[in-house]
Each structure stands twice: as C-alpha cells, then as structure tokens.
Amino acid sequence: MAGVDVIRDQLRRLPARPGVYRMYGESEDLLYVGKARNLRNRVGSYAKIGGHTQRIARMISLTRSMEFVVTQSETEALLLEANLIKRLKPRFNIILRDDKSFPHILIREDHEAPQILKHRGAKRTKGRYFGPFASAGAVDRTLDTLQKAFLLRTCTDSIYASRSRPCMLHQMGRCSAPCTGVISLQDYARLAEQAGEFLDGRADELQKRLSEDMERAAEGMDYERAAKLRDRIKALAAVRASQGVNPEGLVEADVFAIHSDAGQSCIQAFFFRAGQNWGATAYYPRHEADDLPASVLTAFIAQFYDERPAPGLILLSHDIEDPELLRDALEMRAERRIDIRTPQRGEKRDIVAQAALNAREALGRRLAETQSQTRILAAVQKIFDLPHPPTRIEVYDNSHIQGTNAVGAMIVAGPEGFEKTSYRTFNFKDADLEPGDDYGMMREVMRRRFARLKKEAEDSPPGKRPETWPDLVLIDGGPGQLSAARETLETLGFVPSDLNLAAISKGPDRNAGREQFFRPDKAPFQLPPSDPALYYLQRLRDEAHRFAIGSHRARRSQTLSENPLDDIPGIGPARKKALLHRFGSARGVSRATEADLETVEGINAALASRIFAHFQATG
C-alpha cells in the first residue's frame, strides 16, 4: 500500500485523542512529523482527495507507513512535535537550522576569588549565569569591557595558585590581582558583587554609587583612587553605549521578526536581559516555497525554545498560529507566566520594526550570495561536463611530515557553501603503507570512502542514489594522485560515468592562478586567472588543505603529549610520576637497570622486570 491507502488503513484504528503522528516513505525515510488535537480528524484530512497544496499532495503520495504517539493534551503534543522535528529533521517540515547553544557569562562562586568567563553548555559549575548572548563575539566584547570596569580575574585556578607577582593584565589595569594580595579577598568579592549588579540590570544605581565614591576620593585628595574609579565609570558607560537600542520597560524579552522572499525566510532575533540589549542573530529556517511567514514563525518559535528557557516576554512581527497553545506549552516547560505579543504601537513596535528591517537586509544579502553561488556552480558544471550543477562536491587532501602523523581529509561543499558537518578525516590503517607514500595514502582514502558509498547505494531503493553521492570528486594533486584514485574506484566496481573525478595541481612555483586541472583520459587544462570559477575551485582546494593541516597538527600534538610509560601495564599516574621524578624522563627510565627501577617507590621486582623488558623489546 502507498499514499492515501496507507492513511485510510491507519485511520480506522486511530483514537479521537491528542497526539503526534509520523509519516514515512521508502526505506523508512521520515517525511513529516505533525501534532493534532484529535488524531482521527487530523489524519483523516490527508485521506480526502483534492484540496491539498502541491507539497502536501506530494508528501501523501510518498507515504508508505505511519507511527502515532497519543498524549494527554495538545500542549504535550506540541512539545513532543517540536522535539522530534528538531532532532529528526523530517523532509517536509519547517526546520530550524541551529546546532549551537547560546553563550553565557559566568561569575563563579566556587573559589575564594570568583573568576568571570564565557560559558556554553550545561550549567554544572556553581555560580551566577547571565545570558543568553546572541553570539560569542557579543560575550567577548562585554567581557572585555567588564574586565576594565570590575577588574575580575579571567585566569584559570592553576595559574591563580601559581602566581608570585601580578601578571600583565594587572599592569594593563584589567585585573585587581587577588592572586598576590594586591586587593583583599573582601574587596575583591565586592567587585564581583558589583559585576553581578551590572549584569542584573542595576547599572544606573551602580554607576551613581561609583560616581559618589569618585567625588569623595577627589575631595579627600586620594587622586589615584579617584582616577581608577573614573576609568571604571567610563568603561561602564562604554559597554552600555555599545548595546544599541534599549527600550524603556523591556527588561527581559526576545524579539523575533521574519521576512520572506523568493521562497526563503530570515528570522532576526534580538535578546534583551536585565534591561540590556545582549545582541542579535539571524536564522534561515528550511521550509517549502509556499509556506506562509506565520507558519514558518510558529514552527521556528516552538523549536527554538525546545531546549532553551523562554523569557517572560516574546515579541513577534507576525501573528502566529494558535498563540495560546504555544504560550501554554512554553509556560508548562518554564513553570512561570510567559506573554507572547505582536505589538502594534509604541517602543515595542519600533524595536520589532528594527528587527524586521535587519531580517529583510540579511535575507537580501543571502539571496545575492545564493545567486552568485548558483552562477559559479553553473560554471563548474560546464568546466567538468557535469549533467547538472553540482549539489555535493567532495575535495580530498593528505597531510604529513616525512610520513609521520599522516592524515587524510575530505571536505564537502554545495549550494549553501561548506558543509562542515560532512567533513571527514582518515587515520591510515594499512600496515603495508610506506611512510610518505602519497599515492598509497590516496588509495586508502578512496577505498574507505567509496566502499562505504557503494554499500549505501546497495541499501538504497533501485534507481535512487544516496544523498551522499558526490557530483564532483576533486583531488588536491596531479596525474599520479588522479591515477591512484581512479584505479581504486575501478577496483571497487565504479565506472567513469558513476563519478566525475578530477585533480587540481598547483602551478609552477606554486603560483595561485596557474593551477592545472586533470581528468581521466583527457588533456590537462588551465582556467583564465580572472575566472570566478577558478577562484571558487581554489577556495575548495585551500579549505581541504587547511582542514588536512589542522587534523595533522592535532594528531602530532597528541603524539607529542604521549609518553612511552603509558604503554606499560601496571604504570598509572602515580608510578609514572615517581619514575619521571627519579630518572628525569622516559629516556632516563629506558636506560635504567632493574635494580635502579626497584629503588623507586611503588615499583616492585616484578614490575621493574616488566618495565626493563618493555624498553629492551622496543629498542
């Protein structure tokens, strides 16, 4: 059964209860997740012939199976729907493309001298958290000014404990140096408390107190203290001025405005906490071209607050669908009252209008970039004789130093730029691979990547290629690397028409702009130095090189931090430390006799013999 027949078959067994339904296509591909106040009525609407949009009609025709979860209320169904959509990303749903948590500022309370720092993730450390900030940049700018205003330390506890004299930050007037007693812990705690007051929104009161303290210090001819207070007041004024528009009465609120054009949407978000503007960010949710702004905004808000606490006030540019239901769902999670409004006048309307203007301009820039990207991909299609503009380009590179710490890298690019979640590294496993054998490395990378692709293709429906099938495979190298890649692919059963394979080599003297391109059974060619497509292909090559180098360096750093003693059974941190204290280094341990080893605390005769034998065996 398929399509309407599947839906009608399920309909007979559905209760008239709230719940969530899932629609699946071929190979159990999730097509859609929806919620319903009445599952029987909602799903029944799909069983009717006609009256559907083109998108919904296509979704129904692709449906092969369905699953259902009954909930206690429609509110619970909404929360479950938002969670499933965000986690599973069904094909026909509106999707919030956001995989990052917002940064906060943390003033720790688990140390004698509270540290101020940027924080992401779970709030496990004891302290006061302030946020969310729209971006790491917004946090960094605020922290930079708070250092000048409140002189709180940003160093780690280990550095704090090891200081014998004030560090450079103290000399720059950015830390009060509690580590060396320049300021008493009691006075330092007062600074931390003032920083909390500022971040809580009591900046006016704090600034007034500091001004009074400055005047008293000046009257008492304590000009050094007065100058320090003056600098702190200036820093506070600077951070408040940098926060832009701060409407009166907007103490805690999130502002969302949507602008749609050419089948795409941008949602601009402003964040206000403690009466301060803590930054803005733009989102581009995935949706169908015929989705209305109100529908996109409704789905966005539900998913946005799936794992985030909602503020007391949410301001929107458009009326959303069923705002009371969404408000009830957010209040259930937050366990407090939440107000959702679409303001029509006053300062709140002005700030929403400003967010809408930002959304329109951001979407305009994105559409311009998309059009430029479309033209470039069309040029790449022509250069490599592709049947259509590429939607997935894979670029490969290897990195090593004289064969050591070798690593292979794959980057992926498409119509929306670099797809960093699809990047892969390859640690070479072939025991017969000679150090520095670039061709052998390329063979192993190709074998591992495309053996997996072949299996994915075998598991896909007949005539349908997996989504990870590349339209163009670009190798950083010359004819040798291209030949090694081609031989490996042919061994796996691929034919030239399956994969469009090409290599890009650096020009003479490694000059950018004089790159040569190689393709199987075709003459090498060059592109004009001013060709935009050449610049794009150079960027792909450079990104693959950057990623490969970064992965190589990370592996080399890990190797440098390893110690031969870690490979000996029975040697834990305490015994390792004792051996290094006694002999100075792992090399010193390797030269020690069994009798010398037995003199170390915690090393008995059996373990001394094992250590001695280990180094004898490894040379």
Tell me whether strands 404-414 and 417-418 are parallel, antiparallel or unpaired.
antiparallel
Strand spans (E) along 376-522 = 393-401, 404-414, 417-418, 424-427, 472-476, 501-505, 516-518
pLDDT band at 259 (very low <50, low <70, confident <90, very high): very high
Among 389, 397, 394, 398, residue whose Cα is nearest residue 413? 394
For the record, the structure tokens of 550 come out as 């970064």
Report residue 530's pLDDT band, with 50, 70 and 90 as the boundaries: confident
Lowest mean pLDDT, pick from 253-267, 357-371, 504-518: 504-518
Lowest mean pLDDT among 66-70, 186-190, 328-332, 461-465: 461-465
Supply the Cα-derived Rg of the chain in whole angstroms. Answer: 31
Question: Do residues 229 and 302 lie in contact, with contact meaning Cβ atoms separated by under 8 Å?
Answer: no
- Least confident piece of the model among 360-364, 368-372, 459-463, 552-556: 552-556
Spatial strand order in the sheet of 276-283: 276-283, 264-273, 253-261, 313-316, 339-341
Give the model's confidence band at 433: pLDDT under 50 very low, under 70 low, under 90 confident, else very high: low
Confidence check: pLDDT of 563 > 80: no
Q: Is the pLDDT of residue 102 over 90?
A: no
**Structure tokens belonging to residue 37:** 């106040």
pLDDT surpassing 60 at residue 291: yes
The pair of structure tokens assigned to 406 is 């070798």
Strand partners, 408: 398, 426
Percent of the chain residues past pLDDT 70, beyond the cut: 91
Q: Are 517 and 503 in contact (CB under 8 A)?
A: yes
User: What integer pLDDT is reported at residue 421 of this predicted model?
Assistant: 83
* Percentage of the chain modeled with pLDDT above 90: 36
Does the pLDDT at position 266 exceed 90?
A: yes
What structural domains does the chain harbor? 4-88 (3.40.1440.10), 104-241 (no CATH), 253-365 (3.30.420.340), 393-559 (3.30.420.340), 564-617 (1.10.150.20)
CB burial of residue 157 (10 Å; 0-12, 13-18, 19+): middle
Contact status, residue 53 vs residue 96, Cβ threshold 8 Å? no
Does residue 281 contact residue 259 with C-beta atoms inside 8 Å?
no
Q: Long-range contacts of range 288-293, CB-CB < 8 Å, 24 or more positions apart?
A: 288/55, 288/92, 288/94, 288/263, 289/263, 290/53, 290/54, 290/55, 291/94, 291/265, 293/258, 293/259, 293/260, 293/265, 293/318
Helix axes 185-199 and 203-219, enclosed angle (nearest 10): 140
Contact 500, 486 (CB under 8 A): no
Using the predicted structure, report yes or no on whether residue 93 has a pLDDT greater than 80.
yes
Strand 253-261 versus strand 313-316 pairing type = parallel
Greater pLDDT, 476 or 132: 476
Separation in Å, CA 566 to CA 94, 152, 287, 584, 611: 50, 39, 52, 16, 11
Please state the rounded mean pLDDT for residues 147-172.
Answer: 88
Give the H/E segment covering residue 255: strand 253-261
- Per residue in 338-368, pLDDT tens? 999 999 988 899 999 999 999 999 998 888 8
Count, in order, helices (H) and strands (E) of the chain.
20, 18
- pLDDT of residue 248 exceeding 70, the answer is no
pLDDT class for 100, splitting at 50, 70, 90? low
- Please say whether the beta carbons of 201 and 276 come within 8 A: yes
